[in-house]
A and B are shown apart, each in its own frame.
Chain A
Amino acid sequence: MSEQQLYFEDVHEGQEVPSLTVHCDSQRLVMWAAASGDFYQIHYDKDFAIGNQLPERIVHGALKHALLGRMLHEWIAPGGRIRRLTCQYRGMDLVNKNVVCKGVVTRKYQEDGRNLVELDVWTESEDGQKTTPGTAVVVLPSRGR
Chain B
Amino acid sequence: MTQPSLITDEMRSYIGRESEPVTVEVDKTACRMFARAVGYTDPVFYDEEEARRRGYRSIPAPPGFLGHPVYNPARPQRADYLPPFQTGLRRVLNGGTDIEYFDDICAGDVLTMTRKLVDIQEREGRLGKMLIMVNEMTYRRGDQVVAKVRGTLIQY
Contacts and interface: CB of A to CB of B under 8 A. Distances in A.
Interface stretch (A10-18, A79-87, A105-113): A79-87
A87 B98 CA distance: 6
Interface of A: 1, 22, 28, 31-32, 34-38, 40, 52-53, 60-63, 65-67, 69-70, 72-74, 77-78, 81-89, 134
Interface of B: 30, 33-34, 36-42, 44, 54, 62-65, 68, 79, 81, 91-101, 104, 127, 150, 152
A88 B64 contact: no
A86 B38 contact: no
B94 A89 contact: yes
Given A81-B101, A82-B101, A87-B96, A62 B64 contact: yes
Contacts of A69: 38, 62-64
B93 A35 contact: no
Contacts, number: 102
A37 B37 CA distance: 12
B96 A86 contact: yes
Q: Shortest 9 CB-CB distances between A and B: which pairs?
A: A69-B63, A86-B98, A66-B64, A61-B94, A88-B96, A35-B37, A31-B37, A35-B34, A65-B97
Contact of B33 (A34, A82, A84): A34
Contact of A32 (B37, B40, B54, B81): B37
Contact of A35 (B33, B41, B81): B33
Contacts of A63: 37-38
Nearest to B33: A35
Contacts of A134: 96
Contacts of A38: 81
Contacts of B98: 84-87
A87 B62 CA distance: 17
A52 B91 CA distance: 7
Contact of B94 (A31, A35, A60, A72): A60
B63 A36 contact: no
A77 B55 CA distance: 12
B63 A77 contact: no
10 contacts: A22-B39, A35-B38, A35-B65, A60-B94, A66-B63, A69-B63, A73-B63, A77-B42, A83-B100, A86-B96
Contact of B96 (A61, A66, A70): A61
Given A53-B127, A62-B64, A1 B94 contact: no
